[in-house]
Structure 1
Amino acid sequence: MRRVRYESTGGPLFLERVPVPEPGPGELLVRCAAVGVTLPVVRKVTEATEPIPLGGEIAGEVVAVGAGATRFRAGARVTGLCFGHGYADFALLREAMASPVPDGASAVDAVALVRSGLVALGALTAARPEPGEAALVTAAASGVGHLAVQLARLRGAARVVGAVSDAAKADFIRSLGADEVVGYDDDSWGEPVDYALDAVGGELLTPAVSALAPGGRLVAYSSGGGTIQAYDLLVGAKSVTGFQLARIARERPELYERWRQELWQLFTERVLRPAVHGEFALEDAAEAHAVIESRSNLGKVVLIP
């Protein structure tokens, strides 16, 4: 089978041929039909001191089942987060991380919706939204952000503001239901909001906190780090909450599953629309990473083995 790998920090990415792996205890061997490309994986390629397996969201057909795996059989369509080599024709997926892909949904739908949607829905839930409030979503055109914009509206936001790196993304953000679009470098992000969902971190944390109304809540779920001054929170009685989906999956699996079912229900009702920026072949994985690095994507970037 083919697999994408790299040998040193920063790449380059290249295809290699390796044997198809055998599923171990509790694992599923999945023939990958779609693989989601995420910013955390792209960052690890450019920043990690040692090469890592290129993992992430995968979706496809189960072709073999390891010992002790009982929820799925060969032929089942599944999606889930692969912690090993996911940029491949075949990948190993822990059965505990797998969920079924319903009839009527494609593998591309699954990788665009489930993991990114779970992050978006989890971060939104952590913000404790109330109907009629104003919401701000940074990285609003990203795989997670474009779903968060829609979910904020579905959860009753009266006003949704999308923050983006490039004004050229404004029409896309408005097509998702946003009322306003602001640029990261704008002098003002408009009228204050009640809560903000931040996927960028770093220097953007300061304007995100400044955009909050008194008593406003910021939910940070970025891997980009950053620092917030305590005084900026104190003067407006503002708060910051960190959100990590892995903790929910590990400690509250029933909530994780309920969110997953809610996402598929919203998808089935056609009120939540995952957008795909582009579909790339495995051999074009470096090009897919470049789209993420340049932050030019409008929605999810997907590899098609």
Structure 2
Amino acid sequence: MRRVRHDHGSLYIESAALPQPGPGELLVRAEAIGVTLPVVRKVAAGEPVELGGEVAGEVVAVGDAVTGFAVGERVTGLCFKDGYAEFTVLTEAMASRIPDGASAVDAVALVRSGLVARGAYEAARHLAGESVLVTAAASATGHIALQLAHLGGASRVVAAVGSADKAEFVRGFGADEVVTYGQEGWGEPVDVVLDAVGGALLSPAIAALAPKGRLVAFSSGGGTIQAYDLLVGAKTVIGFQMAMIAREQPALYAAWREELWELHGAGKIRTAVAVELPLTDAAKAHELIVSRANLGKVVLVTS
């Protein structure tokens, strides 16, 4: 089979033996692979990270002790190793069925990014009538977060993006207002900020909060917050990590996942795919995300 590897930030294709599923694992023939920002950042930095990601496709073999899935079923899930490959291994606990009528691309665009958006929104303890600002609003997670804020009864949804040419896109997913990172001030203060960027954007994101506002930090971008910036407005920063929910609250994780499919099936949440690229163009997929040129999810396909 073909798989993508990386060396000091460079991605390349190689031939590899077909993996075998171990106990509690599924071997999946990948149809679509979702590219994730944390992996892109680590590859760009030359870190020795595994190329994991969201994978969707057909189960072709199951390991011992697998009880919930059978050969021939279509599944999606997050894998932590060799995700950029024609065949990959998913643990049964991380896999879920793709509903009839949904494509593999639908699955990688909705499930993981949607779960992160859903979890971050839940962590904010948003109340109907409160305003919400979403950073990286044109991203795979951001454009879903905009829609969840509207569904939750937000009085005003603000999209923060890197450039004004993304305004039409985010307005199409429910943004009432659009601000760019470089502008001075982000308009009227908001009650909630869902921050997927971190780093240098933390300060303006905190400044955008109204008194007693909450910022949910779920970015891999790091950054520093000055305590005084929180004290003067009695503001709060909440850290959110989806992996912890998946590990410690699997029933909640599954409930959110089913809710996302229901909302998608009812047309209440739409997904945007920026581009579908062949597996051999993995480097180009990473470049799109590094340059912030993508509007929605970047997906690799195997055929």
* Same fold flag (TM > 0.5): yes
Partner of 2:131: 134
Question: Where does residue 182 of structure 1 map in the other structure?
Answer: 179
Deviations 1:265-292 (A, max 9, x none): 1001001001000000011110010000
Deviation at 1:6, TM superposition (A): 1.5
> Which 4+ residue blocks in structure 1 deviate beyond 4 angstroms?
none
1:303 maps onto 2:268 in alignment:
no
Q: Select which of 23, 28, 32 maps to 1:34.
A: 32
Confirm or deny that 1:222 pairs with 2:219.
Answer: yes
Q: Deviations over 1:55-99 (max 9, x none)?
A: 100000000000111110000110000111011110001111001
> How big is each residue's C-alpha offset from its partner over 1:126-162, in whole Å with a ceiling of 9 and x where there is no partner?
0011111110000000010010011111111110000
Which letter does structure 2 place at the counterpart of 1:299?
G
Q: Secondary structure at the match of 1:246?
A: helix
- Asked if 1:201 corresponds to 2:194, the answer is no
**CA drift at 1:188:** 1.6
Task: State the match for 2:79 in structure 1.
Answer: 82
1:251 aligns with 2:248: yes
Alpha-carbon deviation of 1:48?
A: 4.5
Distance 1:95 1:215 in 2: 41
The 3-state SS of whatever aligns with 1:57 is: strand
In the other structure, the counterpart of 1:94 is 91
**How many residues end up aligned between the 2 structures?**
302
Gaps of 5+ in 1: none
Partner of 1:57: 54
Aligned-residue CA RMSD (Å): 0.7
Q: TM-score, normalised by structure 2?
A: 0.99
Cα deviation, residue 46, structure 1: 1.7
Equivalent of 2:42 in 41, 44, 47: 44
TM-score between both structures, scaled by the size of structure 1: 0.98
Q: Residue 10 of structure 1 aligns with which residue?
A: 9
Of the candidates 112, 121, 130, which is equivalent to residue 115 of structure 1? 112
Which residue in the other structure is 1:231 paired with? 228
Q: Residues 165-180 of structure 1: matches in 2 within 5 Å?
A: 165-180=162-177
Partner amino acid, structure 1, of 2:256: W
* 1:25 aligned partner: 23
- Structure-1 separation of matches of 2:6 and 2:195: 30
Distance 1:109 1:294 in 2: 24
